[in-house]
Amino acid sequence: MGATRSTNTAHGISHLLTRLSISHWSSVDFHFQAAKKRLLKLRADTKKPIESAKREVAKAIEAAKAAARFGKQAAKEMAAAKNAKAAGSPA
């Protein structure tokens, strides 16, 4: 009984597919192509802002590194000035 049911289902699907017109399939293809086009446009539209955000993050990282270097240099200069002052002062 299972094999007969499977065969009948396969036959029914085959019959249904042969009854569908070419215009129906072209309509399905049209909708598929339109959805694909929308997806590609969405990808292109989101790619630019993402790349821009990546550049902004890279700039912020470089600015933070520069600020850290500046802070370290300022601390070194302050320590050197303090040591020079201490060395110049009589103990």
CA 68/CA 89 separation, integer angstroms? 31
DSSP 20: S
Residues of the chain with pLDDT > 70, as a percent, come to 69
* pLDDT score of 32 more than 80: yes
Global confidence as pTM: 0.49
- Average pLDDT of the residues in 4-27: 65
Q: Which 3 state secondary structure label does DSSP give 1? A: coil
CA–CA gap between residue 78 and residue 62 (Å, rounded): 24
Give phi and psi for 21, each to the nearest 5: -85, 165
Q: How many helices (H) and strands (E) does the chain have?
A: 2, 0
Between 13 and 85, where is the model more confident? 85
